[in-house]
């Protein structure tokens, strides 16, 4: 009975009638999950007035830090898990779609130095960022719908110019092209994605890859630097 009730609740939150809990989850574990989510929902209610906008329900983990909250825009039924840091100071801020999941200990940083504001981050519906990931959105990051990521993914949308040996690298200009990850892509654990990259729709990037150039749609890529290994179809 409790499984059926929670299934209905989650389906309504996610607006996904196909969602099914694993029947092997025990009653006590379900109660623990409900208690954790309930506290997270209360935290979400508490911060809703302070963010730029938020959907009807937001789940906010413990120890989470949100900076420049008026530049954070959040869709419905989004989870920002424990000890996540989001610093939204930037031109466009941070925009999270519906049913987005930002896993624990992730850092989202939109501006490196206040001499030059960053662009910001946009994540589409039903997408997830894995635990312990870092998203540097100084040059702009756009992540589409239904994108999944493993843990410890590192995304850097800015580069340092270092051509002039007479000037310290930190004082030389920065270049920004931005990064796009299109819909229905899977980014494997410990992947690094560098500025100027577009990962095409439906692509898979193998764990540990370093992506330095764009990947066509429906590709499987891996390696250091990453290259296309095969097409999905």
The set of residues, in sequence order, having a beta carbon less than 8 Å from that of 57 and lying 6+ positions away, is 13, 41, 44, 76, 77
Q: Which residues contact 98 (CB under 8 A, 6 or more apart)?
A: 15, 55, 75, 76, 77, 78, 125, 126
Six-digit token string for 195? 């500025």
Give CA–CA dist 82/89, Å, rounded: 21
47: tokens are 């911060």
3-state secondary structure of 13: helix
Contact yes or no for 225/208 (Cβ under 8 A): no
- Tokens of residue 3, six digits: 């499984």
Active site (catalytic) residues: 160
Give dist(CA 158, CA 89) in Å, integer: 16
Residue 131 to residue 11: CA distance in whole angstroms:
24
Q: How many Å is the Cα radius of gyration of the chain?
A: 19
């Amino acid at each position: 009975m409790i499984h059926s009730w929670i299934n209905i609740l989650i389906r309504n939150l996610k607006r996904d009638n196909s969602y099914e809990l694993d029947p092997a989850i025990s009653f006590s574990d379900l109660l623990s999950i409900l208690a954790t989510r309930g506290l997270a929902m209360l935290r979400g209610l508490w911060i809703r007035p302070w963010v730029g906008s938020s959907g009807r329900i937001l789940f906010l983990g413990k120890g989470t830090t949100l900076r420049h909250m008026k530049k954070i825009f959040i869709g419905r039924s989004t989870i920002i898990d424990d000890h996540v840091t989001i610093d939204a100071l930037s031109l466009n801020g941070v925009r999270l779609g519906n049913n987005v999941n930002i896993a624990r200990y992730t850092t989202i940083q939109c501006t490196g130095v206040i001499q030059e504001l960053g662009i910001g981050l946009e994540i589409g519906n039903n997408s997830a960022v894995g635990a312990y990931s870092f998203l540097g959105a100084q040059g702009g990051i756009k992540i589409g719908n239904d994108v999944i990521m493993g843990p410890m993914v590192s995304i850097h949308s800015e580069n340092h110019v270092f051509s002039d040996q007479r000037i310290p690298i930190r004082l030389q200009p920065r270049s920004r092209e931005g990064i796009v990850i299109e819909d229905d892509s899977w980014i494997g654990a410990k992947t690094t994605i560098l500025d100027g990259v577009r990962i095409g729709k439906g692509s898979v990037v193998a764990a540990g890859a370093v992506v330095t150039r764009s990947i066509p749609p429906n590709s499987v890529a891996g390696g250091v630097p990453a290259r296309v290994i095969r097409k999905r179809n």
